[in-house]
Structure 1
Amino acid sequence: MPVITVPEAFNEEALYVDLRWSFGYSLYLKCEGFNFAGSIKLKAATEMVDAAERDGLLRPGSIIVESSSGNLGVALSMIAASRGYRFLCVTDSRCNLATRRAIEALGNEVHIITEPSPESGFLGARIDHVRMLCASDERYVWLNQYTNPDNWGAHFHRTGPEIAAAFPNLDVLFVGAGTTGTLMGCARFFRQWHRPVRIVAIDSAGSVTFGGPAGRRMLPGLGTSVRPAILDESYVDDVVLVEEPDSVRACHRLARNGFLFGGSTGTVVSGATGWLSEHDAHHLTAVAVAPDLGERYLDTIYQTNWLQGIYGEDVLSPRTRQSV
């Protein structure tokens, strides 16, 4: 029986859903949402805060500040509350209301950016705001998930080894690309593993991460309007771009079978099943990483009026995905 004294001490790391029953391929979904932060971002948040404390960057009275589309903000907010820091999350208007309320319920503050930067979108505007805050008060400590090696280090030390232990004959791993921390950490781990593993990055159409043109993106989590500094494409074998309506349809398909996942998981599952279909990969052992669960998306992905207002009335009809 686990007994803990701090919330970050608990994280279910060995739960997988076999999607063969629904999608027809041997695809195992690693569920990362069963912790008190509700997402895989707990790992990166813990690693970055631990390192900042060891390095003396975080001290009594420090205020942690971070740009986040939501999940890292909740994880940092939880850790800040546990360790006696204040936390300020800089997000934008696409962040789910439930996420913002969770951060505030934990006693912390949210700044919402309403206007994107003409050159670098909402992400650029958020980062500009963080830099302004840090320049205004030395108590602010920016962990900077976009450049911090402890972001990908968390997954090099934990997520990659967890998958390897569960699937010693792994052939292909599908990982969503946001800051690319999970992607880079897992890819670096499997590059030095005893057998080759194909690393497939799943990104949102409209993201510039892998050099594509910028486009509208309404689902928080995956994709960027500024190329992540920690990305090294030499570790990535394939990239699949997924249109947001396909992400939504994958979420609804999973939900119809009793599994309520978030938008990033829908994107990863849609991209992974598309890749497996194109490669006729029934013989491969494949794992996909599910970053979070679906409760924070009830007012968006699982709300018909929101969906139809954003994507049109045919949002749940079949569509295609794009590989690059």
Structure 2
Amino acid sequence: MPVISAPHAFNEGHLFVDLEPVLGCRLHLKCEGFNFAGSVKLKAANEMVEAAERDGLLTEDSIVVESSSGNLGVALSVIAASKGYRFLCVTDSRCNLSTRLLMEALGSEVHVVADLDANGGFLGRRIDYVRALCASDDRYVWLSQYTNAGNWRAHYRTTGPEIAGHFPRLDVLFIGAGTTGTLMGCARYFRQWHRPVRIVAVDSVGSVSFGGEPGRRMIPGLGMSMRPPLLDESYVDDVVRVEEVDTIRTCHRLARRGFLFGGSTGTVVSGATDWLARHDTGDLTAVAIAPDLGERYLDTIYQANWLQDLYGDEIFDPEEVPATSPRGKPVARRRAVGGDRGREH
């Protein structure tokens, strides 16, 4: 076991789960949640902070500021606490309560934006707030995960080679699209590899990252309300868009086999199984990247009242919905659709 003195020095990058016994399709899941930040975002956060230090942008008086829906905010909170920086995370009302409390427990400040932008999301408002802060006080240093090359470079250096080392005959790689840092870093790495790898981006319905109309998105993580500045579609072979209902069903299906993953992972796995059902002839080597674990979603996608309020009773198995379910009362025997019966198309 390693002996470390800083939390960002540990990041398990070589754990894969064979999902064939759970999902019935040949798919390996690269688990990125086993570090002190609990998500893949620790890699990008560490790369961006170290680059800012090398460039002389960060001093002992600096206040790191970043817009985040949650996971990057936690990762930067971990690194800021370790290095002695102040950190302010600008998030929005979709950020899970447990995530906000975690950032605050690590000593960070959290500002929650509640107003929607012109695209029906919060990102524009969050960025406006960050820019106003930086204009008002030169101590603020905005890392800008949306434009920072360190975001994708971290995965070019680590995530891509980690996958290649375990799967030298890789055929297709499924990657969730948020800022597209993970997507672009891995895609660039495999573009230069010794064999062609099909890169499939998985996006949320309602996101405008790859075009289309904006729509309501309640699960934080993947998707954007603007086109990601880092995105270069020439590196992407296919795009799969996933409804939030399917994200939830997949999360619950995995949880029933003991794998508690987060919303971003549920989206990626749902998109991957859908794509494989349409394309796999039984001989593809397929890997999907799981950005996070599920503990931070216990009061949202794993909480019956939250699901009912947003998606109605149709999200539940009909045979398990009680005749009455007063709000605020325990919802006995209720569970989300999915189980082990397979996804419905």
User: Quick check: TM above 0.5?
Assistant: yes
Q: What is the letter of the counterpart of residue 171 of structure 2? A: D
1:178-233 deviation digits (Å, cap 9, x = unpaired): 00000000000000000000000000000000001100000000000011100000
Q: Displacement, 1:280?
A: 3.2
Q: Distance in 1 between matches of 2:197 and 2:219?
A: 29
Q: Distance in 1 between matches of 2:186 and 2:226?
A: 22
Q: Secondary structure at the match of 1:265?
A: helix
Q: What is the letter of the counterpart of residue 28 of structure 2? A: Y
2:311 maps to 1:311:
yes
Unaligned runs of 5+ residues in structure 2 are 316-335
Q: Displacement, 1:138?
A: 0.3
Q: Distance in 2 between matches of 1:217 and 1:115?
A: 14
| Aligned partners of 1:120 and 1:226 also within 8 Å | no
Q: Distance in 1 between matches of 2:222 and 2:112?
A: 19
Aligned to 2:85: 85
Aligned to 1:46: 46
Aligned to 1:61: 61
| Aligned partners of 1:276 and 1:282 also within 8 Å | no
Aligned to 1:35: 35
Q: Secondary structure at the match of 1:17?
A: strand
Aligned to 1:175: 175
Q: Secondary structure at the match of 1:59?
A: coil
Q: Distance in 1 between matches of 2:258 and 2:304?
A: 18
Within 5 Å, which residues of 2 pair with 1:130-141? Answer: 130-141=130-141
Q: Distance in 2 between matches of 1:48 and 1:280?
A: 37
Aligned to 1:111: 111
Q: Displacement, 1:320?
A: 6.0
Within 5 Å, which residues of 2 pair with 1:1-324? Answer: 1-119=1-119, 121-315=121-315, 316-317=336-337
1:230-284 deviation digits (Å, cap 9, x = unpaired): 0000000000000000000000000000000000000000000000001134210
Q: What is the letter of the counterpart of residue 237 of structure 2? A: D
Q: What is the letter of the counterpart of residue 125 of structure 1? A: R
> Relative to structure 2, which stretch is displaced further, 12-21 or 112-121?
112-121
Q: Distance in 2 between matches of 1:311 and 1:281?
A: 35
Q: Distance in 1 between matches of 2:191 and 2:298?
A: 38
Which consecutive aligned stretches of 4+ in structure 1 deviate over 3 angstroms post-superposition? Answer: 316-321
Q: Distance in 1 between matches of 2:175 and 2:119?
A: 27
Q: Distance in 2 between matches of 1:16 and 1:55?
A: 35
| Aligned partners of 1:100 and 1:110 also within 8 Å | yes
Q: Displacement, 1:317?
A: 4.1
Q: Distance in 2 between matches of 1:119 and 1:179?
A: 16
Q: Secondary structure at the match of 2:313?
A: coil
C-alpha distance 2-214 of structure 1, shift in aligned 2 (>3 A): same
Q: Displacement, 1:24?
A: 1.4
Cα RMSD between the aligned structures? Answer: 1.1
Q: Secondary structure at the match of 1:314?
A: helix
Q: Secondary structure at the match of 2:225?
A: coil
Q: Displacement, 1:31?
A: 0.3
Q: Distance in 1 between matches of 2:15 and 2:212?
A: 34
The structure number with the bigger radius of gyration is 2
| Aligned partners of 1:209 and 1:223 also within 8 Å | yes
Q: Displacement, 1:121?
A: 2.6
Aligned to 2:324: none
| Aligned partners of 1:25 and 1:281 also within 8 Å | no
Q: Distance in 2 between matches of 1:119 and 1:14?
A: 38
Q: Distance in 1 between matches of 2:48 and 2:120?
A: 25
